Amino acid sequence: MTSLIKVTLIRSRSKCTPRQVATLDGLGLRGRGKTKILKDTKPIRGMIMKMQHMLEVERFDGDDSQRESARLRAKRAAS
């Protein structure tokens, strides 16, 4: 099992530079208060370090299935 981290956007994107917005999009964080569960990899850690003033990060001890979107879960259940 890979290690996972839970990332929450705690500040607004309204005054961010375009580069910061692109980094938040890469993390999958579109709005304030949104949370994503991501794999703990070096590229993800690098993006988190660049945006650490806007994020709350904690270790996630759940299973990898909680990372999937509702669309993917429904597709897998149908097949």
Q: Please check whether residue 64 is in contact with residue 1, taking contact to mean a CB–CB distance below 8 angstroms.
A: yes
Give the count of domains, the chain.
1
Instruction: Print pLDDT tens along the chain (79 aa).
Output: 578 999 999 999 999 999 999 999 999 999 999 999 999 999 999 999 999 999 999 998 876 666 666 667 777 788 7
Question: What pLDDT, on a 0 to 100 scale, did the predictor assign at position 66?
Answer: 63
Whichever domain contains 71, its CATH number is 3.30.1390.20
Maximal CA-CA distance, the chain: 44
The structure's pTM equals 0.78
Residue-range definition of the domain harbouring residue 22:
4-78
Contacts 24+ apart (CB under 8 A), 19-27: 20/50, 20/51, 20/54, 23/47, 23/50, 23/51, 24/51, 24/54, 27/51
